[in-house]
Structure formats: structure tokens, C-alpha cells
Amino acid sequence: MQLPIEWLPARGAAEQLILLLHGWASGAQDLLPLAQALRAEFPQAAILAPESPDTADAGRRGRQWYSIESIADPGVWETRVGAALERLEPWVRSQQRRLGVGEAATALGGFSQGAILALQLALRHDGIAGRVLAFGGRLVVPPSLAPRETTIHLFHGSADRVFDAQYARDALEQLGALHGDATLDIAEGVGHEVHPALMQCALHRLRNHIPLRTWQAALGAVRSPGPESGHAG
């Protein structure tokens, strides 16, 4: 895959890795404003936006991660997403190795079709990234398990006419019922786009959200008896 956007820290090694996946009939450059916002906030992060090698359906300009022809059939859609993940998963791991950044310090973001892939990759390979930033996406099918090592952040416009915001609400509810760690931000009046308001929500979540697994580990440490527990002083 080509890398139209590959920004590395000006000095020193990368402390975080942020991977951004474009939408259908689109390209990496369409995520440039998001990449710039993330770079300003996290200067020690490596920020990569790859471009799918496949041209979009029906002669449309831009690229696609999978064809959207006939995906009204859920089985066809799920199969195509699975095939795309078989290419994407080894690529993500190769970038982690190349840049020396672990899974927990990786954030996998995407818009629309790219968000769908980010979500499904986290569901299929728990912990491949510490965070998922899904803009204007949805789950392909209701999950049977929620990731334990990945926090999922959903960002959606209330006026999205491609994927209704209810899909994001449903995903939050489904992941919560499975004891997953997920958040949802909805921007009123915003359509199917990576709107600046949603970018700000993403920066806020990355800066301030403490993953559920961190809370659970801390609570477990507090509740565990110390070495002197049960002995009279």
C-alpha cells in the first residue's frame, strides 16, 4: 500500500502510532485535516494514512478497501470486509514492527468504510490497537464478544445520511452489554464527514479517556490483599 501521509516525529523515536483509513471512493489526502490535528496534539506520534491499492467501483474517482456492489446482502458484505482485513491486519503489524511501537500505543482510525474496517479489525484481533477512532462508520453485524484490550471511540453526525447515527447508538449499546469499553460522540446537524467538531471530540477522548481496563487493573490492585494482610501488627 502506498503511504501518501507518513509523518514521523521531528526528533527521537515514535511514542505512539496513529493509522488512518480513508473511506470509499476517497483517498488518504481526504484525511489530511484529521492527520494535521493529531500531529499538532501528539508531536511524538508517527501518523500514517495508507491508500488502498484498489480503485473504486464503477469508474468512480478514488480508492476503496472493498467493493460496495451487492453488499445489501449481509453475507456478501461480511465476506468482503473479512477479505479486506486479511490484507490490513499484517500491514498494521508490519508498521508496528517497523516503527517500534507496541499495540497498546497504537490508535487505528478511519472514516466510513475505513471506520468499518477499524472496528472489525479490533473485534477480530483484540488488542491490535489500544484505541479505535471510528468516524461515520458502523458494525457489520452485532458483535458476540467485545474487545478487552481495545477502547472503541465512535464519532458520528446526527444528520448522516449514509449511516444513520442510530447505528452508532446501537453499537455503543451492544458493546456496553458485552462489557466492552466504548464511547460515543454525536455532533448535531453534521452529516457524513470528519467534521472539525468530531475531530475535537477525538482529541478530547485521546487526551482524557482512561480505558476501562486501566480502571479494572487499578481496582484489582487495591482490592488484592497486601503481603502483610491477615497478620497482627
Residues annotated as part of the active site: 112, 160, 192
Cβ(165)–Cβ(116) under 8 Å?
A: no
Other C-beta atoms lying within 10 Å of the C-beta of residue 133: 32
Vertex 195, ends 191 and 199: CA angle to 5°? Answer: 140
φ, ψ of residue 219 in degrees (nearest 5): -65, -40
Q: How many Å apart are CA 27 and CA 14, to the nearest integer?
A: 24
Cβ(199)–Cβ(37) under 8 Å?
A: yes
Cβ(151)–Cβ(122) under 8 Å?
A: no
**Strand segments (E) across 22-169:** 45-51, 54-55, 63-64, 106-111, 131-135, 151-157
